[in-house]
Structure 1
């Protein structure tokens, strides 16, 4: 009898505490447009199971209850972290991403100022970890009265802070008041009330489940799945069978042999300097509506090749770098225990070296993040420099690139060379060193800070080239200016990069110049086209199949497949296909399918013509490119 009394004391107040905490967490998650900020029946069932299991174990054995409380508390903290990261980066905590988080801990730390900004905007969020630990801690020691008081406080906090309808918040406030009363009763010898609450909650939950089973109602409360088990359960995407696939091959870009153009060998023996500014979307002129005046852009003059639409097919530095240097899609490295598995061999640099080129990679960022150094070593550069290799000599941040001019000159000698240069200040959290000079974009928004950082980085890289030109002859140099990927600022609910396939993250500037070339406007291009273009202009035959063709060719297929670096289940969290000004996008985070049409330089949302066909076509692209794990458990 004492055992049942203990359960009756503990279970209802633990259950209500968990409900209150989950409501707070859902309110936090809704700050980034989560599917639902209210509870579902699935949520209630999961919480009931957790409360029942912990109450029973705690009443059987105190030590076992403490151990189970630790497990549930850690899991609860992951659920809170999932909400925080979802709001900030649109990524979820699950089996596939936990390893990724650990590999990129330092990278995530760069986003701490933004996470603190979230806590400032929704201050109850900072209480959630403490409430989770408190709820399971009090439950482990069977402190029912104090647990009821905790639940009351959480319901009151939620009622005061939530953006739900006033009536619902009033009911929550009344529930909190009732729990305060219950806390006092639990301290007394009066036990009828708690048995009544136990029976009431159990009967109500049983009735609702029976109703749902018999009536199959369609409202969100009954149909919305719970996100609670997603951290440990599989969430796989299954590619459906398509009976009529006669036109599908037109929507699945295939690798091919690199073709020669009429300009083959025009720039034979030229050096190549490729600048990929970190996180540079189409925010520099001459792109329509661009607010940034670029010094680098002015270098391209009358010989400029300009792409109206140039794409990074995965908006992530590691993955886009892999695509540039292999010419192939990669199995997303975050899908693998060994993030150095990149899907295809990087032949380009080896072939350049075979032609006598010195190959150099210079980055002012930390190449240790996400095991980036493994990819760079695998690509085969002669020399690689990251932030730890750049001397300061009184300079900081990207300005330290200037200190590398002499070393690059020494390394190059008399050989032709390939130099890939990338900076760091334009990566979130965006750093402006000389705030007196680079402050043209006013306001406290992240975008203003970013645009000022772009202008400073643009100046730094332009000055780097000026200093290099004083010591090396750049007159016979193919110069390329692009971004490794773009950057978004809340468009379609997405911020930063890596987490979506929206144009703000995937579309980047592209300019190329050499004195022997004539001006050319390209309607479309991608990072896959970079090395086929270099080899064509340099007169180097390439014997491997790859995605991409020389931009000197007038006839090129207008078909590109995109994917995010972030994951959901066995696939990227977002993926899309662009063909002939139509964009088909599947957002797995919200199970939403979109179709866009490009008109007069703008993407317009169109009615989805055939949801099943779009998802099947995109799924086949994932399979063909090795971007889906078909053997997920």
Structure 2
């Protein structure tokens, strides 16, 4: 076989194989994203360029084999991307792959969701199996094993048919598909063994493919049909899509109200020092969705400890985490600001007053670099599963197992203790099923409610156990969630992926014997620590976005955003102002005007959608959330 024949054959095989696999992946993507599954010119162009580069190395087997493996690995990651987008709205690309791998273990809790999807739609597996068949075929071609090559190419074709027709993998249809595979393999073998000099045709096929794609690319400037203009997800996978500011001129009122970030030192209230010298216990329950618990949901989880606290607490009627992500919650709580400067002013002020600061969580702080964030925030002691050797099977009962170690970490003076549980993270572990199983059914929210009731009970028992070891009579207890959780709103599940209420709204209450019970209409994580400092009588000179809730509700417009990203921006973001909420999702294509309860008012017309995207871009950029890399150093991700 001549060199050009080899290159032409490689170009043709890689291009059509990759295009078929990308098309199968697009069928999965289209289930949630309302996109056309048909290949576009940009798909063809990007895949043709990749295939050309790889095929030019065909005369050098080692380099060629490595590049083919790289293509196969990329196709596998792209399949993982479309599955994660379909299930969780989490996009994987070459920019954020390293971050994803650092915390991949935290997705183990969602394994049931993934397995359920693969059982329900087993045709999802056609694409990764096709990648395997593709690689086997190419390497068999390199090794000169024609029989293996023929079967592998036939398998690729059959898997392609199964993927695009959404055929389930089951025994009933297996004989039919195996017969098709055998027939195609026999046909390929017959053609390969025919008395025809294929070398010339192979070179011509590769050259014609390349020239044809180049000609279409040149003609594209004269056409505005979607085939010529739509951007390829393959290109987005390589370097990410971008949210652009556009050429829209924002009006001055919007710039002042929604883009500007008013920062100032938190001012003392009339209650400044009301709880001076008090210990502080901050509880952030994992994924505590306000809309899934009583009283927001009448048949939701009943958290008896939380409800008892609420009866004698300062309670927020509407509390926002602003970003539905654990690491972001830590940043918002301890920076009192969006991530514009990376400063953590609060805990050093408490430590200067003689406070001992400790953070205790049931899972691992090494996921997504949370341990680094906690160190930057200023915690003296960080306790977790690894440092204490906790038994995962014990769930949140590990708080009770570790009460002596936690008590010792707090020292003898005033303390600040942050507790974070784990059972309310998917898959919603319930340890004592006999006692905590009153919510019946198979849904994820049912499991969450049972887990939340058990976790709440354990936290109450922990506070009692700690109270047996030290005096807690002068203790400010704060109960909230790190973020919420979606159970199907707008098609979202899990968290980190959206600014819908299910993910960003969580309870907040503050309880101390000297603090009168009452309500504030609205609050955010940014406001928690300024309120704590106000109650403790500690001045803060740092300019922040948060303010003490003892002044009343914080009604300033809010930017809500996902931790998942699309290119240079959060994949989902909203501007919330009173009862008006604009939500844009770059992955699913949503452009909605909602009310504060997430009821759809309208789907934004194209012209207004362009203006709102420009407004969101300006607000995100002002808050340090536009980044050419997937996650900048001060925007560490998390679960």
Same fold (TM over 0.5): yes
Is 1:326 the equivalent of 2:339?
no
Q: SS of 1:543's equivalent?
A: coil
Displacement after TM superposition at 1:546 (Å): 0.8
- Give the SS at the match of 1:156: helix
Is the 1:314–1:501 contact (alpha carbons within 8 Å) kept by the matching residues of 2? Answer: yes
> 2:481, 2:507 within 8 Å by CA — same for their partners in 1?
yes
Q: Once structures 1 and 2 are overlaid, which stretch shifts more, 93-102 or 120-129? A: 120-129
**Closer/same/farther in 2, CA of residues 582 and 31 from structure 1, 3 Å limit:** same
| Residue 505 to residue 290, structure 1, CA distance change in 2 (3 Å) | farther
The equivalent residue for 1:24 is 24
Separation of aligned partners in 2, 1:4 and 1:395: 61
The answer to whether the aligner puts 1:292 opposite 2:301 as a matched pair is yes
Q: Which runs of 5+ in 1 are unaligned?
A: 164-171, 332-342
SS of residue matched to 2:239: coil
Give 3-state SS (helix, strand or coil) of 1:575's partner.
strand
Rounded to whole Å, the distance in 2 between the matches of 1:79 and 1:260 is: 52
Distance 1:151 1:553, change over 3 A: same
Aligned to 2:364: 366
The DSSP-based 3-state class of the residue aligned with 2:582 is: strand
Counterpart pick for 2:344 among 331, 346, 350: 346
Structure 1 residues 240-267: Cα deviation after superposition (integer angstroms, max 9, x where no partner): 4553531111113422221222222222
Is the 2:24–2:164 contact (alpha carbons within 8 Å) kept by the matching residues of 1? no
Query: Are 1:266 and 2:274 counterparts?
Result: yes
The list of structure 1 runs, each at least 4 consecutive aligned residues, that deviate by more than 6 angstroms after superposition, is 172-178, 630-633
Out of 275-284 and 196-205, give the one that drifted further. 196-205
Quote the Cα distance in structure 2 between the aligned partners of 1:394 and 1:623: 40
> Residues 173 and 21 (structure 1 numbering): CA distance in 2 closer, same or farther, change over 3 Å?
farther
Are 1:507 and 2:505 counterparts? Answer: yes
5+ residue gaps, structure 2: 169-176, 633-639
Matches within 5 A, 1:53-72: 53-55=53-55, 57-58=57-58, 60-72=59-71
Contact kept, 8 Å, 1:151 with 1:179, in 2: the verdict is no
CA deviation profile, 1:123-168 (whole Å, cap 9, x unmatched): 23334334223314423443564454234322332354269xxxxx
Corresponding residue for residue 37 of structure 1: 37
1:108 to partner: Cα distance = 3.2
Aligned equivalent of 1:303: 312
Question: Structure 2 vs 1, CA of residues 290 and 480 (structure 1 numbering), >3 Å: closer, same or farther?
Answer: farther
Q: Secondary structure at the match of 2:573?
A: strand
Change (3 A) 1:33 1:443: farther
> Following the alignment from structure 1 to structure 2, what is the Cα–Cα distance between the partners of residues 556 and 301?
20
Worse-matched range after superposition: 243-252 or 3-12: 3-12
Asked if structure 2 preserves the Cα contact closer than 8 Å seen for 1:72 and 1:136, the reply is no
Do the aligned residues in 1 keep the contact of 2:557 with 2:575 (CA within 8 Å)? yes
- Displacement after TM superposition at 1:378 (Å): 1.9
Q: d(CA) in 2 for partners of 1:111 and 1:373? A: 22
- Which residue number corresponds to residue 104 of structure 2? 105
Contact 2:335–2:344 (8 Å) recurs in 1: yes
For 1:159 and 1:563, locate their aligned partners in 2 and report how far apart those are by CA, in whole Å. Answer: 34
Higher deviation after alignment, 281-290 or 139-148: 139-148
* 1:152 equivalent among 157, 160, 163: 157
1:249 is matched with which residue: 242, 253, 256? 256
Match for residue 336 of structure 1? none
Q: Secondary structure at the match of 2:360?
A: strand
What is the deviation of 1:442?
Answer: 1.8
Task: Specify the alignment match of 1:417 in structure 2.
Answer: 415
TM-score of the pair, normalised by structure 1: 0.87
Structure 1 residues 147 and 345 mapped into 2: Cα distance closer, same or farther (>3 Å)? same
Aligned pairs for 1:147-546 within 5 A = 148-161=153-166, 182-191=187-196, 195=201, 198=205, 202=209, 209=216, 213=220, 216-219=223-226, 221-240=227-246, 242-247=248-253, 248-252=255-259, 253-282=261-290, 283-289=292-298, 291-300=300-309, 302-330=311-339, 343-390=341-388, 396-412=394-410, 414-546=412-544
Q: Distance in 2 between matches of 1:631 and 1:83?
A: 20
Distance 1:413 1:470 in 2: 15
TM-score (norm 2): 0.86
How many residues align structurally?
610
The offset of 1:359, in angstroms, is 1.9
Q: Secondary structure at the match of 2:73?
A: helix
In the aligned structure 2, how far is the partner of 1:214 from the partner of 1:411? Answer: 67
Which residue number in structure 2 is paired with residue 563 of structure 1?
561
SS at match of 1:419: strand
Whole-Å separation in 1 of the counterparts to 2:629 and 2:52: 34
Shift of residue 210, structure 1, vs aligned partner: 7.5
Q: Separation in 1 of the partners of 2:332 and 2:423? A: 23
What is the Cα deviation at residue 483 of structure 1?
0.2
Q: How far off its partner does 1:100 sit?
A: 0.6
Give the distance between the partners of 1:568 and 1:210, measured in 2 at CA. 26
CA contact (8 A) 2:9 2:206 kept: no
Alpha-carbon distance change, 427 to 588 in structure 1, aligned in 2, over 3 angstroms:
same
| Offset at residue 269 of structure 1 (A) | 2.1
